[in-house]
Chain A
Amino acid sequence: MADDVLLRAQGVRKSFGAVEVLKGIDLEVRQGQVVSLIGASGSGKTTFLRCVNLLEEHDGGEILLDGDPVGYRVEGGRRRRLSETAISAQRARIGMVFQQFNLFPHLTAEENVMLGLTKVLNKPKAEAREIATHWLGRVGLAERRGHYPYQLSGGQQQRVAIARAVAMEPRLLLFDEVTSALDPELVSEVLGVMQGLAESGMTMLVVSHEMLFVREVSHHVVFMDQGRVAQAGTPEAVFGNPESERLRSFLGRFHGMFGMV
């Protein structure tokens, strides 16, 4: 058991009504690693990320961040749900970037990045603005800091959303198909930003259908199928030696598109 494990999921289960969507997920993300989740639509990738960030509550198993259970504490052998304040504090340590960007529509790019810094981390306005300027610069949007979301392209909005998430200095960043809602020509600008973050040592858990990117950037790839981890390993192993027919056929869909695997 390496002690640099940042996120450990063990036997995570989650049902919506009678439908079990996660059927016991085991997964580890080490400090500084990029772990990618791949799998067909409906296999539970989004649900898993949402459980990690407490946007959903898992029903069974455990999710540990830095060794602390996410969403509850154990008291006298029993699980007790954390208070809303404690849950908010846990969420602040995990950043999330969504498929639909979800920028606050009433705030400029800069204000979007500043909001969490001033309200959650209680930083003074001036410092928050400096941090926002820095991160908007890093994602190539220094010039657009005064723009509202509706004045930005999808790719620019997504880069602001990434800046908003990293500016909080989270321990872990979650990405849920962040390029799926983008026009094809805007995908690479966002992937470029993510690659830069990965190279700078950010710990990332990424759901993506961009197989070239996944293969190039990930330390570890997890293939999910119908609520289970069907195969996991290095990109070479998963892409080069798919064990199951389902993984082979899943990857096969990307063949023609990229001429790879």
Chain B
Amino acid sequence: MSIKKTIGSTMKLNRRTFLKASAVASSTAALAACGSKSALDEFLQKNFRFMSKQEIGEVIQRLETQYAQQYGKEISVSAKEALPETFFGYALDISRCIGCRKCVYACVEENNQTQAPQMHWIQVLEMEKEKGIDFMDANLYYQHEEVPHEGHFYLPVQCQQCKNPPCVKSCPVNATWTTKDGIVVVDYNWCIGCRCCMAACPYGARHYNWGQVELDPETINPDTHYLGNRPRYKGAVEKCTFCIQRVREGRYPACVEVCPVGARKFGNLLDPDSEIRYILENKRVLILKEELNTQPKFYYFYGT
């Protein structure tokens, strides 16, 4: 594949295509090849964490223009910062979850996950009651006429928002980090797609964009956040962000609202009156793979 073709067909030059391009030509040639100003701006874009307010504004504007062209409709990209005094936590009631997978698909829609090939941030595991939590024999692909299936329980797994996240430590270019409100995020423009974080994550919570991302303009969610559900790129890694675009506006994550049995709970760990604190103080709570010291802020509990 020639450099021209790479650039021409996607109308942009990002850090991944750049790396590819430099394998066959010098970086100067690659830069010269990209005629448009916006492609150049995109190439020169800094890591989100080190951008000034003004630079963020410019990037947002460029992205909104680009998305509008690509999807033929207005797509807003927010860069809203963390709310003061918030540190998010999540709790899931394993005694209630019936394995209906409604959360899986609500998440796909809310967060604009590509479906070519299929991507699910939430994975619902079916386990045998007799064995308890046992990842070896867990079944992700269960198919039944009706759930819950006799003798089984369900354990949905998504990013555990670790306080001590191995994914963050493993990233060679610092494209992923923990925000002030406790959400582990990815700068999709800064990510080079090396997949180190995917190997480091003990929960299989990170997902890779294998193909060119093409979302259906009909169903795309136009309310996006830079660090959340804005359209991603081929070769970038992504994961659950507690619906950063919603929770920084005070709303519940989409999976919380869709769950028909009310198994999913979310709130501010710093607020002693929050639902999440009530659970931590009054229920039997567990975290997954505690022995790894990842310190998840995603808790499982028994509501019964």
Say if A and B assemble together.
Answer: no
B-to-A contact residues, CB < 8 Å: none
